[in-house]
Amino acid sequence: MRALMKTTGITLLFTLLSLVSYGQSRGATEKFKANLLPSKTGALLTYNGQEHAFTITMDADSVRPSDTPGIVYVNGMIVQAGLVPVPAGLYKDSLTDKRQFEILQAYVAYEMEYFKKDLNINHRDLEVYQGLFGGKPFVVWTFSMPKNDNIRKQIYISGICFNQTLSLNIPVRSEKDFEKSLELLTQMAKTVKEYDRPLDLNQLYKELN
């Protein structure tokens, strides 16, 4: 089933098809280390590898790290950022937008199965959208949590950066916070930049401040 929808001014394609198998096989070998660099306008989340790098800009009045790796507080909202390697059988140095969407749809299906079987989360009302943010393919996926949970909804946005699936997530405690959370995640996705070299973090910090 497919339908064209608009979210935050961007036309997105709605689909629940999983066209490829994701699974748990290892992806390409390059690993990335995350660092949060403060800036004049918020912070820059960097991922540095041996041969590549990518960054996410967080423009906000307040950005601070938490005691939990991968979690940052942005204007008081919990933002979780994580990487999952793209399976070796699916990863190539160059992927078309169509192929990236196929891989991302399979990733969402894999994660939802994990939530259900391994974490015993009986999620409801899964919706998956796909579109270009800053010219880069992403999928936005949302679902409702069980009624007895203090989190009402989960919002994720996922894209492929080199051999990694990058996912940004905000747990939504109140329906009134949904649009604000979605807007923050989509704005962050639009800022993703990829580099064919590692970044000099000391120099980058100086440039940001």
Q: Span 151-160, mean pLDDT? A: 95
Poorest-pLDDT segment among 56-60, 121-125, 180-184, 198-202: 121-125
Q: Span 90-104, mean pLDDT? A: 89
Q: Output the six-digit token pair for 119.
A: 């974490």
Range of the domain at 146: 3-19+62-183
**Confidence at residue 124, expressed as pLDDT on a 0 to 100 scale:** 83
Over its C-alpha atoms, the chain yields an Rg (Å, rounded) of: 17
C-alpha span between 150 and 142 (Å, rounded): 16
Q: Span 36-45, mean pLDDT? A: 96
Look at the chain and report how many structural domains it folds into. 1
Residues 6+ away with beta carbon under 8 Å from 73: 62, 63, 64, 65, 66, 79
**Confidence at residue 150, expressed as pLDDT on a 0 to 100 scale:** 87
* Residue 121 placed within a domain: yes
Q: What is the pLDDT of the chain when averaged over all its residues? A: 85
Q: Span 132-138, mean pLDDT? A: 96
Read off the pLDDT band of 22 (50, 70, 90).
low
Residue 202, helix vs strand vs coil: helix
Q: Span 122-140, mean pLDDT? A: 93
* Residue 86 placed within a domain: yes
* Residue 79 placed within a domain: yes
* Residue 133 placed within a domain: yes
* Residue 164 placed within a domain: yes
Residues 6+ away with beta carbon under 8 Å from 59: 41, 42, 187, 191
* Residue 73 placed within a domain: yes
* Residue 189 placed within a domain: no
Q: What is the CATH number of the domain that holds 152?
A: 3.40.1000
Find the DSSP H helices in 53-155: 97-117
C-alpha span between 207 and 127 (Å, rounded): 40
CB atoms within 10 A of CB 22: 22
Read off the pLDDT band of 94 (50, 70, 90).
confident
pLDDT at 192 over 90: yes
pTM of the model: 0.85
* Residue 194 placed within a domain: no
